[in-house]
Every structure is written in C-alpha cells, then in structure tokens.
Structure 1
Amino acid sequence: MSGLLPSLESIENFAKGTIATAAGLGTVGVGLLFFGQNYLIYPSAFPPGSRTEVPLPIDFGLPYQDPELVTPDGLKLPCYLLLQRKDMSHVEAPEVETREDESDEEFASRRPTILMFHGNGGNVGHRIPLAKVFYVKMRCNVFMLSYRGYGRSEGSPSEKGIQIDAQCALDYVSSHPALSSSPIVLYGQSIGGAVSIDLASRNPHAIRALILENTFLSLPRLVPNAFPILGPFAFLCHQKWDSASKIPLIPRDIPILMLSGVQDEVVPREHMQGLWEIVQKRVSRRSKEVDAEDRTERNGKTVHDIVDRGAHSRFVEFEKGTHNDTCVQQGYWTTVAEFIASLRVRSTSET
C-alpha cells in the first residue's frame, strides 16, 4: 500500500488547489457574504493557471478516456474516466479473479466505480494521484468530474450549477455500457462531500456507498465556527450546501465512511462529528435492532463504528490530519480500502 500512497510531493498541486478553501473563506467580509460570495466559495482560478493547466492521467502513467459531458443547460464539462482492465500489469496493480472468457468491459462492470467530487480550489487534474490509488491499488473504475467553471469546463460555479453537474455525471456512469451494473461509490472532499451527500439524497437507488472527508454541516453553519465575528451575518450566505438536512434522506442501507482530520483549520472538527451524530440518528430512528457503537483508538486514529442489519457506517478521526493533508495520514488509504472491500463482500452475500 505504501508504494501507492499519494506522497506529500506527488499531491503538491492538489494541496495548492485545496488550500484555497482557507484563503477564500478567510477573506469573507460581511458584504461579500451576499455579494460576490461565489467568487470566494469557488476560487477555481487558484492557484494561478488552474483554469488552463490541467494535468492528464497519462502524466501519471494511467490509461484513460476523456468523455465530455453536456449538461441540461448546455455547458461542456471535459472529464476523466479510468476504466478497469483485466490485465493491469503495466501499472503493477494487484491481480483479482477473472474469467478466461470475460471481456474487459465485463470485468469493469464487476468492479466498484468511484465518482470523485473534489474540493473548491484547483482542478480535477490535481486529484489524479488520489484517483490512482483507487484505480491501481483497489482496482476500481474512477470517474473524475470537472465542475462548471473549473479547469477547462465551461460556465461559472454555483450550488445549483454543481448539483446539475453531479447529476449529469451520475447519469453518464449509470448509462455507460460497462458501468451501468457497477456499484457506485461517491467520494467527496470538503465541499465535494457536500456534493456527494446532496447527490445521494436525490438518487438513493443508484448509490452503493459514500466516502466523505473533512466536510461541513452547511456553509452558513460553517461561518460562525470559523469566523465568530461574522456569525450574526451568516444568514447572508445564499450558497447553502445543507448536508445536515440531507443525510436523513439517505437510506440506512447505504453505508457512509467519514474521514476527519482532528487538526482541520478550515472546517472545525465539530462539523464532521455533527454529521456523524446525524448518521447515527438516521440508523437508530429507522431500525429497532441496532448494535451499539464501538470505539477504538490505534495508530494515531480514532475509529467509531455503528452497524445495523443493512449497512456498516464508520467515522475515523486522524489525530494529526489538517484540512489538506488528511489523505496522506497513516491508515487513511488502508481504511478506505477496507471499506471498499467490505462493500464487495456484502454485495456478494446479498445476491
């Protein structure tokens, strides 16, 4: 696993992009909470060159397709698709069981598909090192969405617009010849976690699981925590991303893995803890037979598990993780890999 983990050096561009969260929100003024807040919440041009310089998967030795989505409102979004193949020896991927008469398309259809939603800075290319772990180590298909107004995608970002983009991506994957029967897992970092929760709440029938990293209860509720002096003016924030109200709409048989950096300087730890409390209530409210929560501490991380008859959700805290480096903390990718593997085991046992 260690050879495939995204090193601090390999995700330099990724970190530069996501650090825009802190830079953007740190400059919010009372007036800008309403006027021009989209430019602060979605700093797609930071770091400089992010709108034109978009790394390609081939730069990291990954074969890929580049589907261009066209949204219902007519915008073109160039995206990346990493489709599994039976023979992945060219990237030294672990072998998995295949049938001799099975085509690459049939093989890909049996593998999980990760639908990636990135944070609010940089572009889709900055997250390729993370996609590589899913693709190579876990043998997952990966679809990387480029939001409107990001990278080379057309348009300007907004909550409503990105919701349209996410739905368009899900519809594409769901209708793809090789992916239509693949279990779909949403992976969202920071604001991408809010995108994932919103999409799952509107398409529970199409989603197998969610993986959420360092996301928030809602943007208006983030303002008082991060900037107490602006608390009284949080109502001016019209970009809501209200995850707290949407998680209860996600059925209990959809497991959720939550990954939280305890030292997160952008999204206070309490937000992930608050979302976890809602996940727990979602389970206990809908089932009378729920196992008690199990809490363990090991190797710099705290693991909270809650299991019911339909799902296994987990909340993991990384003691040294900050907003932009939680994904390189010890145990992060092992936790993710175990979660993905557990989905396959349950899926097999349910059929």
Structure 2
Amino acid sequence: MLVRLVRMFLEGAAGVAVTSLIGLYVYQNKLVYPSWAQGARDHVDTPDNYNLPYVERRLMTKDGVEIRAFDIRREDSNTTWLILCPNAGNIGYFLSVVELIYRQFNSSVFIYSYRGYGFSQGSPSESGLKYDADCVMSFLQHDSFYKSQKMVLYGRSLGGANAIYIARNYPQMCDGVILENTFLNIRKVIPHVFPWLRYVAFMCHEVWDSEEEIKFVDPTLPFLFLSGKKDEIVPPEHMETLFNLCPSDNKEIIEFENGYHNDTIVQEGYWDAVSNFLNKYV
C-alpha cells in the first residue's frame, strides 16, 4: 500500500512538472517580451508632447506585419540615431531621452515599436523582431534623407541584441554602435533572473545569441559599451565578455559603479561618455 502511494505521488509530481515545463515553453514569449504590462499596448505618448516634429510611419514587414515608428528629423543634422528599445514598455516611454538626443546632440532620431508592442501589429518573437529590423533598415536605406546621414545604433538590453544583429547584417549603413546593459544570450540570463529555471534554460527558444553574433561585426565599426556594475538582471560580466569578443578596432567600455539595469542611463558621466565616443569615432 505504501509503495503504491509513493508511486502515485511521484507520478503526480512528474505530471505536474511536465505540465509546468510545457506551459513554460509555450508561454515563454510572455516573459521575454512583456509588451502587455502596465497598459503599454493601450496608450503610446507621441513626440509632440515634447515639442518634437515627427511623422508616424507605418511600415510593412516581409511577413505582412505592420509596425509603427516615429520619424523625428532635424533638417540641419548629419547624424541619425536608430533607437532599439528594451523589452518592456513602448516607444513613448523613451521620448524624454529622444528629446535629449535630438536637442543635445543635434541629431535626427528614428524609433520604432517592435511587433506586438505599442500600436504595432503581431506578436513578438526573435525571428519576428529581426524581420522588423530588416524592414526598418530597408526604409532607411531607400529614404533620400536618411541614406545621406551617418547612422548610430543605440540599443539597451534587448535593444542591444537588436543593434548587434543590425550591425552584423548592415555594416555599410552603420557608423557607430552604443550598447547598454545587454546580454550574451537569453539562456545565460535565465539562471540569474530565475535561478529555479537554470536547469531548463535550454528550453528557451528565444535565444538572441549576441555572444556569437558580435564576433562577426565589421572591425572598422566603432562600439561603445555602457555597463551598470550593479545590474540585477543582466550580469555585468556579459557586457565585459561582449566587449572582449567584439573585433572592432575602435571600441570602448565604460562601467558605472552604481548603475542598475534601468538607471545606468542617469548615472553621472553617462552622456559625457557618449559625447566623447561620438566626437572621437563618428
């Protein structure tokens, strides 16, 4: 009788574990891409709230998904920043920084919503976000204004993985890359954020393997790595490794001792480091 009860318990526990793992596998995109959180799909601030001129672009990807973008041009600029956002919120959350870039750096800015974010259609996935990037780069490549501009990629967290993808695949369009608190790949972040999932991290199908991708970027393309040493989501060692793997002849890493994942951008000296990098290499 006791043996039978133990067997029933173990079988039940195994069934729950298997069901949980299947659920985790199927719904992992909700964790990796929390575009649904905090009502970020219901309202998106627009650049006119910051007195910025803009045109809203509706771009169609090659798999038929419409994505939204803010095209914020300065007619007197010679540099455009392409903003690659992190995985939370929407592009409206980043407009205060867009204003700083536009005014302080006298630059044009192009910022877009990944599929499934803000008012863009579709659902987010690694392959889908790469289609989005391809679509945006095609637009910029053929636009008479942007194709005459220098292009700086600026990616934070997940946006850094996007920036590395673009840098590898469109080197002829890029003049500088700025990465903040990005990761080697998502599977290597999981044990840090969700320790109890470390043994099933291999089941994560959203990989974003920047650790491999960055090895193949153009060595003439300048890179700036901005790392918060107190980052509680992406271990700072990830940024150090990406820096070491990057083959760029013109690369710098700046570390902020008190920077966490989401507040490195407000650390003292952050924008001075960006300015120095751009003046030196772009």
Same fold by TM-score, threshold 0.5 exceeded?
yes
CA distance 1:36–1:321, change in 2 (3 Å): same
Structure 1 letter corresponding to 2:181: N
Do structure 1's residue 44 and structure 2's residue 35 form an aligned pair?
yes
Q: Is the 1:79–1:146 contact (alpha carbons within 8 Å) kept by the matching residues of 2?
A: yes
* Residue identity in the other structure for 1:39: K
Say whether residues 1:64 and 2:54 are aligned partners.
yes
Residue 30 and residue 335 in structure 1: after superposition, are their counterparts in 2 closer, same or farther (change >3 A)? farther
Q: Equivalent residues in 2 for 1:194-213 (5 A)?
A: 194-213=161-180
Q: Secondary structure of 2:59's partner?
A: strand
Which whole-Å deviations, capped at 9, do the CAs of 1:307-344 have from their partners, x for residues lacking one?
A: x4xxx211011111111111111111111122222234
Aligned AA (1:57): P
Partner of 1:335: 273
**In structure 2, what is the Cα distance between the partners aligned to 1:273 and 1:133?**
27
Query: Which protein has the larger Cα radius of gyration, Structure 1 or Structure 2?
Result: 2
Which position in structure 2 is the counterpart of 1:326?
264
Unaligned runs of 5+ residues in structure 2 are 1-19
Aligned residues: CA RMSD = 1.4
* Other-structure match for 1:113: 80
Q: Which amino acid aligns with 1:133?
A: L
Residue 317 (structure 1) aligns with: 255
**Where is the helix percentage greater, Structure 1 or Structure 2?**
2
Counterparts of 1:63-102 in structure 2 under 5 Å? 63-86=53-76
**How much has 1:255 moved relative to structure 2?**
0.8
Which position in structure 1 is the counterpart of 2:117?
A: 150
Query: What letter matches 2:263 in structure 1?
Result: D
- 1:161 equivalent in alignment to 2:118: no
Pick from 118, 123, 129: which aligns with 2:90? Answer: 123
Task: Report the secondary structure of 2:36's partner residue.
Answer: coil
Q: Establish whether residue 55 from structure 1 lines up as the match of residue 45 from structure 2.
A: yes
Asked if 2 retains the 8 angstrom alpha-carbon contact of 1:77 and 1:148, the reply is: yes
Q: Which amino acid aligns with 1:70?
A: M
What pairs up with 1:195-234 in 2 under 5 angstroms?
195-234=162-201
SS in 2 for 1:67: strand
Distance 1:143 1:41 in 2: 24
1:323–1:277: structure 2 CA closer, same or farther, 3 Å change rule?
same
Query: Quick check: 1:112–1:141 contact (8 Å CA) kept in 2?
Result: yes
Equivalent of 2:25 in 25, 34, 37:
34
- Where 1:180 maps in the other structure, the secondary structure is helix
Distance of aligned partners of 1:33 and 1:195 in 2 relative to their CA distance in 1, 3 Å threshold: farther
What is the identity, as a one-letter code, of the residue corresponding to 2:49?
D
Amino acid at match of 2:272: T
- How many angstroms apart in 2 are the aligned matches of 1:61 and 1:339? 28
User: Is the 2:192–2:233 Cα contact (8 Å) retained in structure 1?
Assistant: no
Q: CA deviation at 1:133?
A: 1.5
Unaligned segments of structure 1, at least 5 residues: 1-28, 87-107, 284-307, 345-351
- In 2, distance between residues paired with 1:74 and 1:229? 38
Aligned residues: 263
TM-score, length of structure 2 as denominator length: 0.89
Preserved contact between residue 226 and residue 268 of structure 1 (Cα < 8 Å): no
Distance, in Å, in 2 between the alignment partners of 1:336 and 1:132 is 15
**Cα distance in 1, alignment partners of residues 58 and 23 from structure 2:** 33
Please report how far the alpha carbon of residue 232 of structure 1 lies from its aligned counterpart in structure 2 after TM superposition.
1.7
Deviation digits for residues 239-261 of structure 1 (CA, Å, limit 9, x no counterpart) = 01000000111011001101111
Aligned partner of 2:243 in structure 1 is 276
Q: For 1:181 and 1:135, locate their aligned partners in 2 and report how far apart those are by CA, in whole Å.
A: 17
Task: Report the Cα offset of residue 118 of structure 1.
Answer: 0.4
Distance in 2 between residues matched to 1:84 and 1:342, nearest whole Å: 22
